[in-house]
C-alpha cells in the first residue's frame, strides 16, 4: 500500500502519469471532466483558492525571511498534484513550476518512498533540489518542496523556487556563466531530504553556508521558501477539509486537463497549422579564459535550430534536431532547462490566470541524443542550458505570432522575445569577506515585443519574471556596495529598424567605487554571444541586436569628478568622450553579452546596452509620422531617419535652454518620397537574383571557404540527419563531406 | 459581415487603430468567428489583382489560387505589387533578389549605432521583391547557412479542419517542402 491518495505508491502514479500522457494525449487519461461540466463553480472556487494560497504564501514569506535578492521578485510558490504536475502558481518566474514533475519523477522512480536510509516520505519532510538533470532549470535555482498529506495520504506538493544570489560556481560567481563541467557549475543537489518535522536540518544550513558565497543570504531565502510552502500547505489542508480529499485531487487533475483543452482550442481558433523555422546561433568564447585548465573547452559556434510545427490537432511539435553536439561549455541543456524555456510559451499560448502544467502537455519536443538539446552524459556544464532553451522557445514564439498574423488576429501577434541581462560582481571586501552579487534590472524590465500594429515597448515587462520595477538601483548597490549607478535609461539610435521598430535599447552605467579587495565583473544574458536573437527577422524586419558591454579599465574618472564634468550616460556617449579625449582608459574591453571574468578596480566604468528587440516589417513601410515622433522624442537621429527610413524632416523649432530644447519636426513629403525612391533604386543596384548568389556561395561551401567557427559548426551538425538533409539538399551537395571536411568537430565530447 | 469590425480590421492592418481599441480586441471574451474571412476581404480589396487570397504569410506576401477556365491550377506566392514567386511549397526567397551586408560599413547603414552582429561570423541577407523592391525578409546568418524557409502552411488542414470550408483542390501533395527541386535544377545548370 503506497503513500499516495488512492492507495498507490509514488512510483505508480509517476509511471501512470507518463503512460497516460503517451497513450491518451490527455493529462490523466480523462475523457470527461465531471466537475468542469457539472459543477464549474466549485471547480473555479478550488482553482482560485489554490492561486490565492500560492500568492499569499509568496507575499507573506518574503516579509518573514528574505535576502535582498529575493525581494526583486523571482520567488515562485506553487502547488502540484501527487505526481508533481503544477496546478497553480503565484507570481514569480513561473517556468519553474514545470520542474517539480521531474523532481517528483526521480523521487518516484528511485522509490524514495521506500528509502529506509532517508526515512521515506513523511508529513513534515522537506526536500530540496537544484539539479537540472533531475528537476531544477539550472543550479542557481533551488527548489524547496514539502509533501501535502491529508488523512495520512499524499494529496500533493507545495513548493517554492528562487534563484540564489550565488551557488558556489568555480569560475564565474553570482549568476554563473563560463562553466565547462558540472563540477565547475558549483553546488548541485539532486532531490534530497534536507529537513523533517517542518524544520530544515542544521547540516543543510551548513551546506549552504559552506558551499555558496553569500551563504547567509541563501539560508534566509531557504527559510523564506519553506515558510511560503508551509503557508500554502495550511491553506490546502483547509481546502481538503472543506471539499474532501477525493474531490480536491480530482479538481487538481481536471484543472490541468481543462487548461490543456483550452490552449488547444485557442490554437485552433487563432493560428494556422504550419511549419516554421527560427534557428539561432550562439558564439561561445572561453578558450582564452579557461586556458590550459580545460583544454577541451574551446571557442565554438553553437547551432540551435527551432522548428515550430503546429499540427492539425492543435498540438505543437517543437523540433530542435540538428543542434550542435554537447560539449565542454555552459550551454548543455538538460530536461530541467527545457522546463524553464517553455515558460516563454505560457503568456502567448495559455494566457491563464496562473501557470499550470498544461502548457507542457500540448507540446512534444524532438531532440537529437548527444546534442546540447539532449546531452547523453550528465557531467557537462549546464548553467546556461536553460538560457539556450529560453531563447529557443522565444524563437518558436515567432511561429505562433506568424500564425496569428496570417489568421488575422494581429492584436494577438506579439513576439515574446526574452531579452535580458544580468551583471554580476564578485570579489572580497577589504576585510577578506567574499561576496557575490547580481544586478537583475535588465531581467526585471524586458521590452514588450514588437507587433504588426505597434513598435516594441522598452522596459515594459518581466514575462515570467515579474520583479518589482526598474527603480532598484539602491537595492543592487546594497547587494554590491562597490558599484555606483552612473545612469539608467534608453539609448537613442540603439534599436532595430522596421515598419514597427524594435524597442529602444536600455542602458546601465556603473562606476566601480572602492571595492576594498579584489573585484571582478561578468555578464550574462540574451541574445547571447555576438549573434542576434534569431537568424530570421520578421516579415522584412531585422532580428534583435545582441547585448553590448563596454568596460573602461583604469580611467581618469576621478579627474572628471573633480572637475565636475558629468560622466557619460551611456555607451555611445562614453565612446564619444573617449574619441574626444575627455575620458581616458588604459584598457578598453567590449563584448556582446557574455563576458568572462573581468578584473575591475576603483574608477572603472562599465556600460551595458541591451533589449534592442526585433522589428516587424521593412523600414520603408514605416509611417513617416512615427519617424517624426521618434525624432521629437530624441530616439532617432535625423541622419538615420533619412538613410534607413527615407524620411526627411525639418527641425522647425528649437526653443528653451539647449539641455531642454523642444524640437518640432515637420515632414517634407516630397523629399521623403524621393529619398525612399532612391533607397529602392540602391537596392536594385546592390541586389542579385538568389540563384546567382546561391551559385557563388555554393562554391564557397564546396571549397570549405567559410570562417573557421562556422565550418566547425557545420562539420558537427552534419552528423545529425535533419540538419544534414537540409544542408545537403539546399546546397545540392553529393553528401555532407564538402562542408564537413574530414575533421571531427572539436568542441563535441 | 460586421461592417464596424471590418473597419476596425482595416485600421488594424494599417496600424491606425487607436491603442485603446486594439486593447478592446485583445480583451474580447470570444474572438469574432469571421475574423479570417473579414481579414482576407480587407486585404483582397487593397490589391490590384484578382487572384483569390488563401493566406497572408508576410507583410507583402500572400498565397493565392491561380485559376484557368474556372479551375484551380496552382497555389503561388504573390506580392501585393503583383509579382509572383511561384509555387508556395518552394521557399519564395529563392525567387527573390538578395543583397548581403558583410562589412562593417555595410552593416553600419542599418545598425547605425555601431552595435551590430559580428561581421567576422555573420552576414546580413536582405531579400527584395523583384517587382517593387520591397524588403520582404532579412536573415542574420553564419556564412554558408542555408536560406531559411520561414513558413510552410498546411492550407488543406486549415481550411477543412479549422475553418470548415475545404478547398476544392485538396491534395496531400500540398503540404510538402519542394525547395530542393529548385536548387537541384540550379545545380544541373552549373554542372
Answer for the pair A255, A48: CB distance below 8 angstroms, yes or no.
no
What are the tens digits of pLDDT across the range B62-108? Answer: 999 999 988 889 999 999 999 999 999 999 999 999 999 999 999 99
Q: Which residues make Cβ contacts (< 8 Å) with residue A510, sequence separation at least 6? A: A423, A483, A484, A485, A486, A605, A606, A607, A608
State the pLDDT at residue A743: 43
d(CA A551, CA A523): 11
**The C-alpha cell of A629 is what?**
515622433
Residue-by-residue DSSP string for A365-384: EE--TTBTTS-SSS-B--TT
* CA atoms within 13 Å, Cβ hemisphere of B155: 26
Residues 546-565 of A with CB under 8 A from B: 546, 548
Left if phi > 0, otherwise alpha if psi is -120 to 50, otherwise beta: which for A300? Answer: beta
Query: By CA distance, what is B163's nearest residue in A?
Result: A269
- Kindly write down the DSSP assignment for every residue of B54-92, as one continuous string: EEE-SSSEEEEEEEETTEEEEEEEEETTS-EEEETTS-G
Element (H, E) at A78: strand A76-80
> Which ipTM did the prediction report?
0.98
Helix axes B35-44, A385-407, angle to 10 degrees: 70
The pLDDT, as a whole number, for residue A475 is 79
Interchain CB distance below 8 Å, A542 and B110: yes
How is residue A2 written as a grid cell?
A: 503506497
Distance, in Å, from the CA atom of A317 to the CA atom of A306, rounded to the nearest integer, reads 10
Region of residue A504 (phi > 0: left; psi between -120 and 50: alpha; otherwise: beta):
beta
Cell 469590425, located at residue: B5
User: A453, B15: Cβ pair inside 8 Å?
Assistant: yes
In the numeric block, which cell numbers belong to residue B168? 476544392
Q: Nearest CA to CA, how far is B184 from chain A (Å)?
A: 6
Helix, strand, or coil here: A530? coil
Distance in angstroms (rounded) separating the CA atoms of residues A320 and A672: 44
d(CA A113, CA A90): 28
A204 vs A546: CA distance, rounded Å: 40
Helices (H), A361-470: 385-407, 441-444
Q: How many residues does chain B have?
A: 191
Within 8 A of B145 by CB-CB distance, chain A residues are: 279, 535, 710
DSSP letter at A596 equals -
Report CB contact under 8 Å: B12, A410. yes
Contact of A654 with chain B, judged by CB distance below 8 Å, is answered with no
pLDDT for position A739: 52
For chain B, the straight-line distance linking the first and the last C-alpha, in angstroms and rounded, comes to 56
Longest dimension (CA), chain A: 84
pLDDT of residue A744: 42
* Spatial separation of the C-alpha atoms in residues B80 and B78, rounded to whole Å: 7
CB contact under 8 Å between A281 and B122, yes or no, is yes
Q: Which of B135, B147, B185 to mutate to test the interface with A (most CBs of A within 10 A)?
A: B135
- Say which residues have a Cβ less than 8 Å from residue A235's Cβ, sequence separation at least 6: A49, A52, A53, A56, A57
Burial environment of residue A296 by CB neighbours within 10 A (0 to 12, 13 to 18, 19 or more)? middle
C-alpha cell at A719: 552528423
C-alpha cell at A17: 502519469
The residues pairing with A605 across neighbouring beta strands, listed in sequence order, are: A511, A552
pLDDT along chain A (749 residues), means of 10: 94 90 84 95 97 96 81 85 95 85 95 95 98 94 97 97 90 84 96 97 97 91 96 98 96 95 96 97 89 92 96 97 97 93 84 86 95 97 92 93 98 89 84 82 83 94 62 79 92 95 94 90 72 87 91 96 96 95 94 79 93 95 96 92 95 59 83 97 98 98 95 97 97 70 43
pLDDT of residue B118: 86
Is A372:A332 a contact under the CB 8 Å cutoff?
yes
pLDDT tens for each residue of B2-42: 769 999 999 999 999 999 999 999 999 899 999 999 999 99
Distances (CA, A) of B115 to A29, A225, A388, A415, A641: 52, 41, 22, 22, 17
**How far is A745 from A300, CA to CA, in rounded Å?**
10
Residue A684 to chain B, least CA–CA distance (Å): 7
Helix (H, G, I), strand (E, B) or coil at A545: coil
Q: Decide: A108 and A15 in contact? Cβ < 8 Å.
A: yes
- Residue numbers of A between 13 and 72 with CB closer than 8 Å to B: none
Query: Are A454 and B126 in contact (CB < 8 Å)?
Result: no
> Which residues fall within 8 angstroms of residue B35, CB to CB, at 6 or more apart?
A407, A408, A409, B5, B9
Q: Which of A103, A99, A97 is nearest to A58 (CA)?
A: A97
DSSP-based three-state secondary structure for A53 = helix
Distances in whole angstroms, Cα of residue B93 to Cα of each of A685, B139, B149, B153: 18, 11, 8, 16
Interchain CB contacts (distance < 8 Å): A and B? 257
Instruction: Check: CB of residue A524 under 8 Å from CB of residue A593.
Output: yes
Give the separation between CA A391 and CA A668, rounded to whole angstroms: 41
DSSP states along A312-330: TTS-EEEE-TTPPBPBSSS
The model carries a pTM of 0.94
The grid coordinates listed for A285 are 568564447
User: Among B113, B132, B139, B162, which would you mutate to test the A interface (most chain A Cβ atoms within 10 Å of its Cβ)?
Assistant: B113
Query: CB-CB: which of A275, A500, A644 is closest to B112?
Result: A644
Q: Which residues contact A354 (CB under 8 A, 6 or more apart)?
A: A50, A51, A54, A88, A89, A90, A94
CB contact residues (below 8 A), chain A span 566-625, against chain B: 571-572, 575, 592, 609, 612, 616-621, 623
Longest dimension (CA), chain B: 59
CB A429 within 8 A of CB A516: yes
Amino acid at each position: 500500500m503506497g503513500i499516495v491518495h488512492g492507495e498507490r505508491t509514488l512510483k505508480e502514479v509517476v509511471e501512470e502519469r507518463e503512460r497516460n500522457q503517451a497513450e491518451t494525449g490527455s493529462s490523466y487519461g480523462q475523457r470527461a471532466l465531471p466537475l468542469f461540466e457539472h459543477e464549474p463553480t466549485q471547480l473555479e472556487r478550488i482553482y482560485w483558492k489554490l492561486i490565492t494560497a500560492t500568492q499569499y504564501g509568496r507575499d507573506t514569506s518574503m516579509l518573514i525571511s528574505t535576502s535582498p535578492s529575493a525581494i526583486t521578485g523571482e520567488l515562485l510558490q506553487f502547488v502540484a498534484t501527487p505526481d508533481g504536475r503544477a496546478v497553480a502558481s503565484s507570481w514569480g518566474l513561473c517556468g519553474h513550476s514545470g520542474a517539480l514533475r521531474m523532481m517528483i519523477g526521480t523521487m518516484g522512480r528511485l522509490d524514495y518512498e521506500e528509502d529506509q536510509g532517508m526515512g521515506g516520505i513523511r508529513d513534515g519532510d522537506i526536500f530540496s533540489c537544484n539539479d537540472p538533470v533531475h528537476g531544477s532549470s539550472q543550479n542557481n535555482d533551488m527548489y524547496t518542496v514539502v509533501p501535502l498529506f491529508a488523512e495520512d495520504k499524499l494529496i500533493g506538493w507545495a513548493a517554492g523556487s528562487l534563484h540564489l544570489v550565488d551557488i558556489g560556481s568555480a569560475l564565474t560567481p553570482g549568476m554563473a556563466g563560463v562553466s565547462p563541467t558540472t563540477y565547475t557549475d558549483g553546488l548541485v543537489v539532486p532531490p534530497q531530504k534536507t529537513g523533517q518535522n517542518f524544520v530544515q536540518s542544521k547540516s543543510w544550513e551548513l551546506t549552504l553556508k559552506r558551499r555558496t558565497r553569500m551563504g547567509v543570504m541563501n539560508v534566509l531565502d531557504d527559510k523564506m521558501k519553506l515558510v511560503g510552502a508551509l503557508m500554502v500547505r495550511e491553506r490546502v489542508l483547509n481546502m481538503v477539509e472543506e471539499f474532501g480529499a477525493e474531490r480536491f485531487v480530482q479538481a487538481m487533475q481536471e484543472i490541468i486537463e481543462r487548461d490543456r483543452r483550452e490552449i488547444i482550442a485557442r490554437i485552433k481558433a487563432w493560428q494556422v497549422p504550419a511549419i516554421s523555422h527560427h534557428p539561432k546561433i550562439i558564439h561561445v568564447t572561453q578558450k582564452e579564459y579557461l586556458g590550459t585548465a580545460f583544454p577541451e573547452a574551446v571557442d565554438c559556434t553553437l547551432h540551435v535550430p527551432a522548428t515550430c510545427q503546429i499540427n492539425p490537432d492543435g498540438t505543437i511539435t517543437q523540433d530542435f534536431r540538428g543542434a550542435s553536439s554537447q560539449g565542454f561549455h555552459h550551454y548543455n541543456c538538460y530536461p530541467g532547462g527545457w522546463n524553464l524555456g517553455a515558460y516563454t510559451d505560457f503568456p502567448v499560448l495559455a494566457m491563464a490566470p496562473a501557470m499550470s502544467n498544461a502548457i507542457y502537455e500540448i507540446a512534444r519536443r524532438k531532440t537529437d541524443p548527444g546534442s546540447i538539446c539532449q546531452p547523453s552524459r550528465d557531467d557537462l556544464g549546464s548553467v546556461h542550458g536553460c538560457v539556450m532553451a529560453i531563447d529557443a522557445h522565444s524563437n518558436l514564439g515567432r511561429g505562433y505570432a506568424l500564425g496569428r498574423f496570417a489568421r488575422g488576429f494581429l492584436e494577438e501577434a506579439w513576439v515574446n522575445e526574452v531579452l535580458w541581462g544580468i551583471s554580476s560582481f564578485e570579489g572580497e571586501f577589504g576585510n577578506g569577506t567574499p561576496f557575490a552579487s547580481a544586478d537583475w534590472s535588465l531581467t526585471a524590465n524586458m521590452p514588450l515585443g514588437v507587433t504588426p500594429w505597434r513598435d516594441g515597448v522598452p522596459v515594459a515587462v518581466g514575462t515570467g519574471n515579474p520583479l518589482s520595477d526598474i527603480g532598484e538601483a539602491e537595492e543592487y548597490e546594497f547587494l554590491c556596495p562597490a558599484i555606483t549607478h552612473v545612469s539608467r535609461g534608453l539609448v537613442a539610435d540603439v534599436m532595430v529598424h522596421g515598419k514597427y521598430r524594435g524597442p529602444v535599447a536600455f542602458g546601465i552605467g556603473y562606476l566601480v567605487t572602492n571595492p576594498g579587495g579584489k573585484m571582478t565583473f561578468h555578464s550574462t544574458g540574451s541574445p547571447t554571444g555576438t549573434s542576434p536573437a534569431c537568424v530570421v527577422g520578421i516579415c522584412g524586419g531585422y532580428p534583435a541586436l545582441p547585448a553590448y558591454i563596454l568596460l573602461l579599465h583604469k580611467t581618469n574618472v576621478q579627474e572628471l569628478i573633480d572637475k565636475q564634468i558629468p560622466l557619460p550616460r551611456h555607451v555611445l556617449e562614453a565612446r564619444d568622450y573617449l574619441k574626444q579625449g575627455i575620458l581616458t582608459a588604459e584598457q578598453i574591453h567590449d563584448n556582446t553579452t557574455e563576458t568572462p571574468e573581468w578584473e575591475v578596480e576603483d574608477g572603472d566604468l562599465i556600460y551595458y546596452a541591451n533589449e534592442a528587440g526585433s522589428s516587424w516589417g521593412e523600414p520603408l513601410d514605416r509611417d513617416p509620422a512615427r519617424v517624426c515622433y521618434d525624432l521629437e522624442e530624441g530616439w532617432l537621429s535625423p541622419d538615420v531617419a533619412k538613410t534607413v527610413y527615407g524620411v526627411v524632416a525639418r527641425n522647425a523649432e528649437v526653443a528653451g535652454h539647449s539641455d531642454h530644447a523642444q524640437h518640432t519636426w515637420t515632414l517634407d513629403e516630397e523629399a521623403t518620397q524621393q529619398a525612399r525612391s532612391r533607397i529602392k533604386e540602391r537596392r536594385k543596384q546592390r541586389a542579385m537574383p538568389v540563384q546567382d548568389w546561391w551559385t557563388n556561395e555554393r562554391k564557397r561551401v564546396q571549397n570549405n571557404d567559410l570562417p573557421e567557427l562556422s565550418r566547425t559548426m557545420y562539420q558537427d551538425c552534419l552528423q545529425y540527419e535533419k540538419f544534414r538533409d537540409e544542408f545537403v539538399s539546399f546546397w545540392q551537395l553529393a553528401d555532407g563531406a564538402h562542408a564537413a571536411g574530414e575533421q571531427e568537430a572539436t568542441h563535441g565530447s | 459581415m460586421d461592417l464596424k469590425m471590418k473597419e476596425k480590421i482595416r485600421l488594424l492592418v494599417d496600424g491606425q487603430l487607436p491603442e485603446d481599441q486594439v486593447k478592446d480586441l485583445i480583451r474580447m471574451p470570444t474572438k469574432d468567428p469571421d475574423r479570417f474571412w473579414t481579414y482576407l476581404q480587407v486585404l483582397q480589396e487593397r490589391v490590384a489583382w484578382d487572384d483569390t487570397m488563401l493566406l497572408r504569410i508576410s507583410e507583402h506576401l500572400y498565397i493565392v489560387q491561380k485559376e484557368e477556365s474556372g479551375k484551380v491550377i496552382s497555389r503561388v506566392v504573390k506580392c501585393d505589387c503583383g509579382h509572383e514567386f511561384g509555387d508556395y511549397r518552394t521557399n519564395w526567397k529563392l525567387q527573390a533578389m538578395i543583397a548581403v551586408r558583410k562589412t562593417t560599413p555595410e552593416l553600419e547603414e542599418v545598425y547605425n549605432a555601431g552595435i551590430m552582429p559580428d561581421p567576422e561570423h555573420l552576414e546580413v541577407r536582405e531579400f527584395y521583391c523583384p517587382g517593387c523592391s520591397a524588403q520582404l525578409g532579412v536573415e542574420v546568418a553564419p556564412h554558408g547557412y542555408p536560406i531559411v524557409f520561414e513558413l510552410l502552411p498546411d492550407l488543406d488542414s486549415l481550411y477543412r479542419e479549422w475553418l470548415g470550408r475545404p478547398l476544392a483542390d485538396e491534395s496531400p501533395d500540398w503540404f510538402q517542402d519542394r525547395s530542393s527541386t529548385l536548387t537541384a535544377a540550379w545545380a544541373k545548370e552549373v554542372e
